[in-house]
Amino acid sequence: MDLSIGDLSRRVAVKLPTIRYYEQIGLLPAPPRTEGRQRRYGPEDVSRLRFIRHARDLGFEVEAIRELLSLSARPDQPCEPADEIVLRHLQSVERRLAQLTLLRSELRHMLEDCRHGPVRECRIIQVLANHDECRYEHGKVG
């Protein structure tokens, strides 16, 4: 039950160059090759890649995933370190949510205030030119 990289890609829904990338950065082990140097994967690789993909979908960074993977390889150890990783991620998601919520109000107000006249009278442009006209303080948002 050997899978080509294309088979693996379709099964796990991870793009082919991404799989090679994960191998390159050491998230996935380098698989055995055919005589013609093509990669062949087994069921272990399928699970591992699924794990990675799922964690990425949940927004975990590669470094966090690396830690989670190495934790899952030690089933007897306590799982606090995993908790901590998830908690840190949750907190960053919450910070991000707070920022974006503020940002959303700001953008809504800009649109509401717009009188649809010439640019000269446009509140959108005015607010951008002058932070004092903002309703809220806001920090950087990516």
Partner DNA sequence: TGTACAATCTCTAGCGACTAGAGGTTCAAG
Partner DNA sequence: CTTGAACCTCTAGTCGCTAGAGATTGTACA
124 binds, among DNA, a copy of itself, none (CB under 5 to 8 A by kind): a copy of itself
Residues 96-135 that bind a copy of itself (CB under 8 A): 96-97, 100-101, 103-104, 106-108, 110-111, 114, 116-122, 124-125, 127-131, 134
> Contacts with a copy of itself: how many residues (CB under 8 A)?
59
Total Cβ atoms within 10 A of residue 12: 22
Q: Which two tokens stand for residue 68?
A: 């989670």
Q: Which two tokens stand for residue 95?
A: 């910070």
Q: Sign of torsion, CA 57 61 62 66?
A: negative
Site for DNA contains 21 (CB under 7 A): yes
Q: Which two tokens stand for residue 19?
A: 């799989």
Question: 33 or 135, CB closer to a copy of itself?
Answer: 135
- Whole-angstrom distance, CA of residue 111 vs CA of residue 138: 17
CA-based Rg of the chain, rounded to a whole angstrom?
23
- Whole-angstrom distance, CA of residue 22 vs CA of residue 8: 13
Using CB under 7 A as the criterion, which residues of the chain lie in contact with DNA when the complex forms? 4-7, 9, 15-18, 20-21, 33-39, 56, 61-63
List interacting residues with a copy of itself (CB under 8 A).
47, 50-51, 54-59, 68, 71-72, 74-80, 82-83, 86-87, 89-90, 93-94, 96-97, 100-101, 103-104, 106-108, 110-111, 114, 116-122, 124-125, 127-131, 134, 138-142
